[in-house]
């Protein structure tokens, strides 16, 4: 099939930018399909139309990664051979996430306000819900490091991580839904900041707003994203090995070992992200 040839995992590992472009196309096609259907559940359909074509690619990517356990391990990265072994696949997943985020942000900004509000209504509601949870909760702790905020954010992110684990183990590529949903929420966040800046400065507001939003979430967001991608990969390759009934083979021990180490790295990444998010700005 044409789609399967375009989404060849080996090709994606050699050229991650290709996946960024293709995932942007996925979002664009999903936008047109959702607008055409004009459903009351447009926000959900939009995410679903991005998830569906992504699942075969992600499953094939996990399958390829699981098969690579029979090859020699590369040199260490940050002192970890496990990270080095899986880094190319994590880069591909990062490229995929970047593409869908760029696509959601682009269409949120360029669509007429009515269409944009319809397609992203659930995401706007989610942002308002998150804002209400955090707003005003920590005004009594004007500290350099806000421990209460750290505990709340870290606990919430661990819950998301647990959902990624469950979906990845049960459905292989089930975590794609969580990734696409989070990408759409981030995109709406960036789009709202850019739209507000554009009203204040029609000439340069769009770029400055996007820059402000990206650099605002990048320091902690990159660690959170790495955590979710590492978790999806860890459980995805373990799920592939279980489906193939390879638990009686010696390589399965290495699969399980790498999965546990990737999960440990994911928790560390989450802690670092929460630490950065709660440090340096008084509550």
Structural domain spans, the chain: 2-277
What is the reported pTM? Answer: 0.84
- Per-residue pLDDT, 7: 64
Please report, in tens digits, the pLDDT of each residue of the chain (283 residues total). Answer: 445 456 677 777 778 888 899 889 989 999 999 998 877 788 889 999 999 888 888 888 887 777 766 455 544 444 456 777 778 888 889 999 999 999 999 999 899 988 888 899 888 888 877 766 655 554 444 456 677 778 888 898 899 899 988 888 887 777 888 889 999 999 998 888 888 887 777 767 777 777 777 787 888 888 999 999 889 888 888 887 777 777 667 777 778 888 888 899 999 999 998 888 887 544 4
- Per-residue pLDDT, 77: 43
- Per-residue pLDDT, 255: 81
Non-local CB neighbours of 256 within 8 Å, separated by 6+ positions: 238, 241
- Per-residue pLDDT, 242: 78
- Per-residue pLDDT, 142: 45
- Per-residue pLDDT, 175: 82
């Amino acid at each position: 099939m044409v789609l399967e040839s375009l989404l060849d995992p080996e090709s994606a590992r050699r050229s991650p930018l290709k996946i960024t472009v293709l995932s942007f196309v996925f979002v664009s096609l999903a936008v047109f399909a959702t607008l055409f259907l004009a459903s009351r559940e447009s926000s959900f359909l939009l995410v679903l139309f991005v998830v569906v074509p992504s699942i075969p690619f992600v499953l094939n990517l996990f399958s390829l990664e699981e098969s690579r356990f029979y090859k020699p391990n590369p040199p260490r990265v940050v002192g970890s051979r496990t990270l080095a072994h899986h880094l190319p696949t994590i880069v591909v997943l990062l490229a995929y996430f970047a593409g869908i985020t760029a696509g959601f942000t682009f269409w949120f900004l360029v669509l007429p306000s009515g269409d944009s509000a319809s397609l992203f209504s659930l995401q706007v509601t989610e942002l308002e819900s998150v804002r209400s949870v955090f707003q005003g909760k920590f005004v009594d702790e004007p500290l350099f490091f806000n421990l209460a905020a750290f505990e709340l954010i870290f606990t919430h992110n661990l819950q998301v991580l647990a959902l990624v684990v469950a979906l990845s183990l049960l459905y292989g590529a089930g975590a794609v839904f969580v990734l696409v949903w989070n990408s759409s929420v981030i995109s709406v966040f960036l789009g709202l900041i850019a739209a507000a800046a554009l009203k204040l400065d029609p000439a340069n507001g769009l770029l400055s707003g996007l820059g402000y939003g990206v650099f605002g979430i990048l320091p902690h967001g990159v660690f959170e994203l790495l955590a979710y991608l590492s978790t999806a990969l860890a459980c995805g390759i373990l799920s592939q090995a279980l489906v193939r009934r390879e638990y009686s083979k010696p390589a399965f021990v290495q699969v399980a070992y790498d999965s546990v180490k990737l999960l440990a790295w994911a928790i560390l990444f989450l802690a670092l992200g929460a630490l950065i998010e709660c440090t340096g700005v008084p509550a």
